Structure 1
Amino acid sequence: MAVWGPGRLGCEVIRAMVGLESVELVSVLAYSEDKAGRDAGELAGVGPLGVRVTTDRAEMLAARPDLVIHTNMDMGAGKADDDLLQLLDVGCNVITAHAYGGLHLREDGAIERFQSHAVAGDATLYCTGVNPSFNVEQLVQTLSGACSHIENILVRDVMAIDEAGEMALELMGYGKPLDTKLSDHLRSWVGQYLEPSMRVTADLLGKPLDRIEFSSHLGPAVRPVKLASMTVEEGTCASVALRYDGYSGDEVFISVEGLYYVGAEQRPADAVAAEYIEVKIEGRPSLHVTVDLKASVHDGLDRYPDSPDTPIVYAAAAGPIVQAIPLVMAAPPGVMRTPPPTAHYDARFLRRG
Structure 2
Amino acid sequence: MSEARLDVVQWATGNIGTRALRGVIEHPALNLTGVYVHSADKAGTDAGPLCGLGETGIKATRSIEEVLGLGADCVLYMAAACDFDEVCRLLAAGANVVTTRGEFHRPESMDPAVRERVEAACEEGGTSIHSTGSSPGFITEAVPLVLSSIQRRLDGLTISEFADLSRRDSPDLLFEVMGFGKPPAELDERRLSHGKTSFGPSLEVVADALSMPLDSIEAGGEVATARQRTRIAAGTLEAGTVAAQRMTVSGMRDGRAVVRFRALWYCTTDLDPAWDVRETGWHIAVDGDAPLDIDIRFPFPLERMAETSPGYTANRAVNAVPFVCAAAPGIRTSLDLPQIHAVLG
Q: Shorter-chain TM-score category?
A: 0.7 to 0.9
* Structure-2 residue corresponding to 1:336: 332
After TM superposition, the structure 1 = structure 2 runs for residues 53-202 of structure 1, keeping only pairs within 5 Å, are 53-74=60-81, 79-99=82-102, 100-161=104-165, 162=168, 166=172, 170-184=176-190, 187-188=193-194, 190-202=195-207
Using the aligned pairs only, state the percent identity.
24
Tell me which residue corresponds to 2:265: 260
173 and 342 in structure 1: CA distance in 2 versus 1, 3 angstrom threshold: same
1:278 paired with 2:278, answer no
Q: Is the 8 A contact 2:250 2:260 kept in 1?
A: yes
Match of 1:237 in 2: 242
Give the C-alpha shift of residue 171 in structure 1. Answer: 3.9
RMSD: 2.8
Alignment TM-score, normalising by the size of structure 2: 0.83
Match among 203, 214, 220 for residue 209 of structure 1:
214
State the 1:163 CA deviation: 5.9
Partner of 1:26: 33
**2: CA distance, partners of 1:291 / 1:139:** 11
Structure 1 residues 204 and 339, CA gap change in structure 2 (3 angstroms): closer
Name the SS for the 1:331 alignment partner: coil
- Structure 2: any 5+ residue segments left out of the alignment? 1-7, 340-345
CA distance in 1 between counterparts of 2:192 and 2:83 reads: 18
Amino acid in the other structure paired with 1:255: R
Query: Which stretch shifts more, 114-123 or 43-52?
Result: 43-52
SS at match of 2:108: helix
Shift of the alpha carbon at 1:47?
A: 3.0
Do the aligned partners of residues 330 and 160 (structure 1) sit closer, same or farther apart at CA in structure 2, a change above 3 Å counting?
Answer: same
How much does 1:143 deviate? 0.4
Inter-CA distance 170–326: structure 2 relative to 1 (3 Å threshold): same
Aligned-pair CA distance for 1:194? 0.6
Q: 2:54 pairs with 44, 47, 71, which one?
A: 47
Q: Choose the corresponding residue for 2:21, options 14, 20, 26.
A: 14
Read off the aligned partner of 2:287 and give its amino acid letter: E
Q: For structure 1, list consecutive stretches of 5 or more residues without a partner in the other structure.
A: 295-299, 344-353
Residue deviations 1:169-188, cap 9 Å, x none?
63432232122242535533
TM-superposition CA deviations, 1:260-305 (whole Å, max 9, x none): 2346878x985553x31111011212101122234xxxxx5667xx
Contact 1:172 1:240 in 2 (8 A): no
Compute the displacement of 1:34 (Å).
Answer: 2.8
Q: Is the 8 A contact 2:47 2:59 kept in 1?
A: yes
CA contact 1:30–1:54 (8 Å) conserved in 2: yes
